[in-house]
Amino acid sequence: MMRTQSSTTCGSHRALSQFCSFILFGFLATTTVCEPDYPSLDWYHPQVDLLAQLQSRLTGSPNHTTFVNHLESQLQSLGLQVNSDVFQFAYNQAPQSPPQIQLNGQTIPASFYIPYSGNTDAVGVTGTLVNVINPALSSPDWSRANGSIAVLNITNPGTDGAKNLAVWPGSPAWGTLPGVPASAANIYVHNLTDAARLGVKGVIYAWQNLTLANAYGQYGPFKINYQGIPAVQVAGSVSQQIVAAANQGSTVTLTSTGQLFPNGTTRTLWTIVEGTERKNESVIISTHTDGSNVVEENGHLALLAKARELKASPPKRTTILVFLTGHLHTSGFTDKGRVMARWLSDHQDLWNGTNGNGYKALFGSCVEHLGAVQWKEDVANDLYYPTGRLDPEVIYAATEELASLFQSNWRGATPDTIRATNPLKTTAEQGGEGLPFLWSQIPEISLVTAPSWLLKIWPEDFNQTQLMDIPAAKRQVDSFLRIWEAVDILPQSGFGKLNYTRNL
């Protein structure tokens, strides 16, 4: 894989920043402050409609390329110079028809294929089903399925938020959170290259405690390179059917007709707006552009809103907007588990201030999954349905000072619940692409809400706009804009001291 870098009247947002400065330093403001010119709801609708039209934007796919080109055009229309990091990678095109299992003359649709596992021709591969039940993280005993098709259990555990997600003072504790199946797959689906080496013809992962409707289209894992062996996933009653067939030694034919292209191409975009006063101090705001649906990923809405503001009123500190590629195929671009780590490694002059040269980043933000609505599973009755509520926001603040800044400025998806999660004390590392900021000792505030359908590719006839509450997304974007304006004038001591010692 290669990379190349090819008073009462408000005329600007500075009035708001001036007001924020009073708040930051504890003074009472008596000056009338006008509401900033944040994007209206009318601005959001065509943006969201485009995402719904494109549907999934898998890394390097035609839809993803179209979307990246669209973002580039949007930034250029504001007069911003757009930089590109161009990557070549092995791109595995999704199967042109749904993967299938033939069992006893019956066609059983798989819930989805395992991304970058392997491909078959139209005939498929045929073999005896062999149970290799392995809920543990260690490698399965693939040798048991030599010349056969292996069947493995996989589970979708929830999270005990009170135990595993620490919060900053003043924030309500977390409750229990449902699992995200594709994220679970990142943990439980591994070593498929060993299966291929040991002569296994194919693999079927049988989900436990997951409904058929939720399992459909779950794009996971998304952190493996091409494995060379076809693998699919099933759930619900189909899982029970496949496990029973394996216990009986039944023969099946597995078909998953993707295609591997060794020279795929994709781009990360980034733009720099130089500060007017503290140009050697940088603020980095990021999101990713590849995704599975209208919410995964829509963080670009916040960055485009910020780009409009930066063009109208340049910042005091240099501000860098980064639109990452590779999130849904992380291993194709980095071995660190987050593609933002690759960008930071490639562009150290923009954040680490080595030897006094270049920029020193004082703050970072990653915006992911705006306005996500909540769906709920009833596994006992195999039902999956929207609750009519918003999914709980997951927002990380890296220092106590930034947690306080967040709590003072955030009026997000659910304004009556303002919760800042402390990434220094969680049992697992922070989710999403904001984590590399911590690895690089850059204080951050990042959003990474995680509904159970986050990595789900929905049926083509499903209207994806119903996955996103646009007014809630606007509240989140407006809140980020307030935070970023406050950050622009914050004294260095106001960011707090970050000492992050964990890593992958």
Q: What is the DSSP string of 320-371?
A: EEEEE--GGGGGGT-SSS-HHHHHHHHTGGGTB-GGG-S-EEEEEEEEE-TT
* The pairing of beta strand 106-109 with beta strand 100-103: antiparallel
Residue 12's pLDDT band (cuts 50, 70, 90) = very low
For residue 46, tell me if it sits in a domain. Answer: yes
For residue 191, pLDDT over 90 is answered with no
Average pLDDT, stretch 329-352?
A: 96
pLDDT band at 158 (very low <50, low <70, confident <90, very high): confident
β 231-234/251-255 pair status: unpaired
- 504 within some domain: no
- Whole-angstrom distance, CA of residue 172 vs CA of residue 169: 8
In this predicted model, what pLDDT tens digit does every residue of 457-480 receive, in sequence order? 999 999 999 999 999 999 999 999
Mark whether 13 and 118 lie in a shared domain.
no
Distances (CA, A) of 398 to 131, 206, 415, 428: 45, 38, 21, 15
* Domain membership flag for residue 458: yes
Domain identity same for 231 and 351 = no
Does 220 fall in a domain?
Answer: yes
Task: State the Cα–Cα distance between residues 265 and 362, nearest whole angstrom.
Answer: 32
Q: Are residues 49 and 465 in contact, defined by beta-carbon separation less than 8 angstroms?
A: yes
Number of domains in the chain: 2
In Å, how far are 275, 305, 307, 340, 347 from 281, measured between CA atoms? 8, 21, 18, 19, 15
Give the pLDDT of residue 139: 76
Q: What percent of the chain is modeled with pLDDT above 90?
A: 84
Ranges of H-type helices in 79-197:
161-164, 181-188, 192-197
The pLDDT value recorded for residue 33 is: 31
Q: What is the CATH number of the domain that holds 357?
A: 3.40.630.10
Least confident of 181-190, 328-337, 432-441: 181-190
Whether 334 is in a domain gets the answer yes
pLDDT of residue 403: 98
Same domain? For 249 and 278 the reply is no
User: Of 76 and 504, which is predicted with more confidence?
Assistant: 76
- Give me the torsion for CA of 324, 330, 332, 335, rounded to 10°: 110
Residue 192 sits in the same domain as residue 68 = no
Tens of pLDDT, residues 360-371? 999 999 999 999
DSSP 8-state class, residue 29: P
pLDDT at 174 over 70: yes
- The pLDDT assigned to 408 comes to 95
Check residue 300 and give its pLDDT. Answer: 98
Q: Domain span at residue 359? A: 2-91+267-495
Choose one of 220, 239, 257: the last residue of a domain.
257
CATH number of domain containing 130: 3.50.30.30
307 within a domain of the structure (yes/no): yes
Cα–Cα distance measured from residue 454 to residue 219, given in angstroms and rounded to the nearest whole number: 9
How much is the pLDDT for 67? 98
pLDDT exceeds cutoff 50 at 26:
no
User: Is 406 inside any structural domain?
Assistant: yes
pLDDT at 10 over 50: no
The single residue listed with the structure tokens 């910042």 is 315
113 with 181, same domain: the answer is yes
Mean pLDDT over the full length of the chain: 91
Give CA angle at 154 (151, 157), nearest 5°. 170
- The whole-number pLDDT of residue 221 equals 95
Q: Say whether both 247 and 287 belong to one domain.
A: no
Q: Are residues 109 and 179 in the same domain?
A: yes
Same domain, 421 and 292: yes
The dihedral built from the CA positions of residue 165, 498, 303 and 431, taken in this order, carries a sign that is negative
Both 253 and 286 in one domain: the answer is: no
Closest CA to 150 of 172, 123, 118, 121: 118
Q: Give yes or no for residue 129 having a pLDDT over 70.
A: yes
pLDDT by residue (tens digit) across 307-321?
999 999 999 999 999
**Domain end point (choices 257, 290, 322):** 257
**Lowest pLDDT segment from 62-66, 383-387, 499-503:** 499-503
Q: Is residue 354 scored above 90 in pLDDT?
A: no
Residues 122 and 179 in one domain: yes
pLDDT at 258 over 50: yes
Q: Note the pLDDT of residue 36.
A: 65
User: Is residue 502 domain-resident?
Assistant: no
Write down the residue that tokens 């590399």 correspond to: 436
- Tens of pLDDT, residue by residue over 382-423, are 999 999 999 999 999 999 999 999 999 999 999 999 999 999
